[in-house]
Amino acid sequence: MNRIGIIGAMQIEIDLLLKKLVIQEEQTIAGMPFYIGEFMGTEVIITRSGVGK
């Protein structure tokens, strides 16, 4: 399976993507949320890093 990683600085940047993602797992690592799921047969990992980091 292919895998794509997406990093957004602000929650508003990732909200639309999260609505389309079939979320299978959520983790917090180093204070950042990671959402792991699937979209159209592709594994997608989305995180929010915060502005200026």
Tell me what pLDDT residue 29 has: 95
Write down the pLDDT at residue 50: 87
- Residue 38 inside a domain? The answer is yes
Which pLDDT score is estimated for 2? 87
User: 18 lies in which domain range?
Assistant: 3-48
pLDDT above 80 for 53: no
More confident call, 33 vs 50: 33
Q: Specify the residue for token string 């983790």.
A: 27
Is residue 53 assigned to a domain?
no
Of all residues in the chain, the percent with pLDDT exceeding 70 is: 96
Beta strand 32-39 with 22-29 is antiparallel
| 12 inside domain | yes
Query: Which amino acid is present at 38?
Result: E
Where is pLDDT greater, at 51 or 27?
27
**Cβ(49)–Cβ(32) below 8 Å:** yes
Number of folded domains in the chain? Answer: 1
Q: What is the mean pLDDT of residues 18-44?
A: 95
CB-CB contact of 2 with 45 (8 Å):
no
